[in-house]
Structure 1
Amino acid sequence: MDHGAEEPADGRAAAPRGDYFVQSLERGIAVIKAFSAAEPELTLSEIARRTGMTRAAARRFLLTFVDLGYVAVSDRRFRLRPTVLELGFTYLTTLTLPQLATPYLVGLSEELHETASVAVLDGPDVVYVARSGGRRVMATGITVGTRLPAYASSHGRVLLAGLTDDELDAYLEQAALVPRTARTITDPTVLRERVAQARERGWSLVDQELEEGVTSIAVPVHGPSGEVFGSMNVGTHSNRHTPEQLQALALDPLTRAVQQLERDLALTGIRSDHPLR
């Protein structure tokens, strides 16, 4: 085992690790996460810099992944191979919520000609677990598996509204409320008010707080026992619809889709302690 105390490449202080911790596994995962949709091909030097490793260490990990079939190399540039999807496929195949939600998302995107998605809360972030793109492509490039900060998104507001007061207090104490745009709410008191508003209304609309030009509206998805463990939203470019227009256009169809999904969830008996929670 390798228990080195190397600081993460993003500069954050490393959390205390137990004696069980295998740092080489963490570093191997960091190599895979160095790739992105914006930069699907990277050189050895770029990967070493992004992961905080030496070139020699990064090279060993990369060549191991090449041997395992997860990474390809051409002209000294590395890229992920489709085989890497095997690492998450088993988890995805156990999910019930995305499978049930997808037909309703497709229906919404076809009706409204906008994007529709379902997300769950995972720590300080929302994670997209199902998505259907409208005829117009949004700039965010969000796909299944994308993580975004809960405080700045419509998904996040309704999911935070489903927390207990103690859970919300803990979130607000720990969350780093960093401005994503000039409109992002970073005052914990104001954010708490917006979450309370979402809880009272049963929906949340966020206008250009996560990304300039992106407006979205979300409704919570309740499980059979009434608990909130997911959310469904519709997103648009702000130059197509004002917040008021998006609410008028999407809130009723979105609410109907969620109600239909909740009936399906009740029939399956899915619980909030499902792995998505």
Structure 2
Amino acid sequence: MKGLSVSENDRDYIQSIERGFAVLTAFDEKNPNPSLADLAAETGLSRPAVRRILLTLQKLGYVTGNNSRWSLTPRVLSIGQHFSASHALTEAALPRLLEIAEHTHESASLGVLDGVDVVYAARVPVRRIMSINVSVGTRVPAYATSMGRALLAWAPTEIVDNVIANSTFDALTPTTITDEGAFHTALRVVREQGYALTSEELEDGLISLAAPVRDAGGSVVGVAACSTSAGRTTPEAFRTDVAPFLVEKANQLSADMGYRS
């Protein structure tokens, strides 16, 4: 089953909760209205088990539907809202992201690491036509993004090893880094320059910059990021025009979080 990260023999482990979250997270942009059969195939659970979970989630108000098609309800948004309310980083980030967006005229985001993915925890969008559909809660693979590399460049070895061991390293575009050695080299470059730049690795035409945000203890807990299109600029021009300002704002956000270099 997807997402299993602890031993099922752990006496404190409640498998039914894991199964419930497996069903919830099986709803995505590719299949927002799955059938019971779709959810069973995605989670690896039996149809009767999925049906019981769906009926429970329906009574709790998190899904709606019947045995034909199911969909999430707006109540699931409250889960993410609780995260934002309980994490000072997301609240502190918004003014800095707004400054980045106003200065660059490009969308600005806060990313945090969750397993092998980066999750968008906050975002200030600008009106641009791009194929990548990003909103708070969107997940992207850490290995193919500037945000992931900026998060991992200063991460403990065990976290980096876990991401490498559990990432698919699929070639999402012709320029995606898919080799473990090349990925380690990319992380070293990020540490040396203080920020990450990726060009057309997650998707064709997407150029992105990310800079680390640290907490009071100096640990990298998030990244400030800014992205653009290859139709509007080049990677080197984006680096020259945006990287210094982005790093400055990430440093200011780190200071907001109590970090003193």
Q: Which runs of 5+ in 1 are unaligned?
A: 1-7, 270-277
Q: Deviations over 1:205-257 (max 9, x none)?
A: 10111222211011111233433222111111222221012112311321232
> For residue 19 of structure 1, what is the aligned residue in structure 2?
11
> Where do residues 1-277 of structure 1 align in structure 2 (5 Å cutoff)?
8=1, 16-17=7-8, 18-73=10-65, 76-164=68-156, 168=160, 171-172=163-164, 175-266=167-258
* Paired residue type of 1:237: S
CA distance in 2, matches of 1:24, 1:225: 36
CA distance in 2, matches of 1:149, 1:202: 21
Q: Which runs of 5+ in 2 are unaligned?
A: none
Task: Evaluate the alpha carbon distance shift between residue 41 and residue 13 of structure 1 in structure 2; reply closer, same or farther with a 3 A threshold.
Answer: closer
Task: Evaluate the alpha carbon distance shift between residue 22 and residue 164 of structure 1 in structure 2; reply closer, same or farther with a 3 A threshold.
Answer: closer
For 1:117, what is the secondary structure of its paired residue?
A: strand
Greater CA drift, 207-216 or 80-89: 80-89
* Paired residue type of 2:82: T
CA distance in 2, matches of 1:187, 1:52: 30
For 1:56, what is the secondary structure of its paired residue?
A: helix
Greater CA drift, 241-250 or 18-27: 18-27
Task: Evaluate the alpha carbon distance shift between residue 74 and residue 176 of structure 1 in structure 2; reply closer, same or farther with a 3 A threshold.
Answer: closer
* Paired residue type of 2:46: T
CA distance in 1, matches of 2:234, 2:134: 21
> For residue 4 of structure 1, what is the aligned residue in structure 2?
none
For 1:239, what is the secondary structure of its paired residue?
A: coil
CA distance in 2, matches of 1:64, 1:123: 27
1:116 deviation in Å? Answer: 0.9
1:105 deviation in Å? Answer: 1.1
CA distance in 1, matches of 2:147, 2:212: 8
1:57 deviation in Å? Answer: 2.6
Check the 8 A contact 1:113/1:135 in 2, yes or no. Answer: no
Check the 8 A contact 2:35/2:67 in 1, yes or no. Answer: no
CA distance in 1, matches of 2:4, 2:137: 25
Task: Evaluate the alpha carbon distance shift between residue 69 and residue 205 of structure 1 in structure 2; reply closer, same or farther with a 3 A threshold.
Answer: same
For 2:34, what is the secondary structure of its paired residue?
A: strand
1:168 deviation in Å? Answer: 4.2
Task: Evaluate the alpha carbon distance shift between residue 262 and residue 143 of structure 1 in structure 2; reply closer, same or farther with a 3 A threshold.
Answer: same
1:30 deviation in Å? Answer: 1.7
Greater CA drift, 209-218 or 46-55: 46-55
CA distance in 2, matches of 1:55, 1:123: 28
Task: Evaluate the alpha carbon distance shift between residue 121 and residue 74 of structure 1 in structure 2; reply closer, same or farther with a 3 A threshold.
Answer: closer
What is the TM-score of this pair, normalised by structure 2?
0.87
Check the 8 A contact 1:113/1:136 in 2, yes or no. Answer: no
Greater CA drift, 205-214 or 18-27: 18-27
What is the TM-score of this pair, normalised by structure 1?
0.82
1:166 deviation in Å? Answer: 6.5
Residues matched between the structures, number = 259
* Paired residue type of 1:82: P
The root-mean-square deviation of aligned C-alpha atoms, in Å, is: 2.6
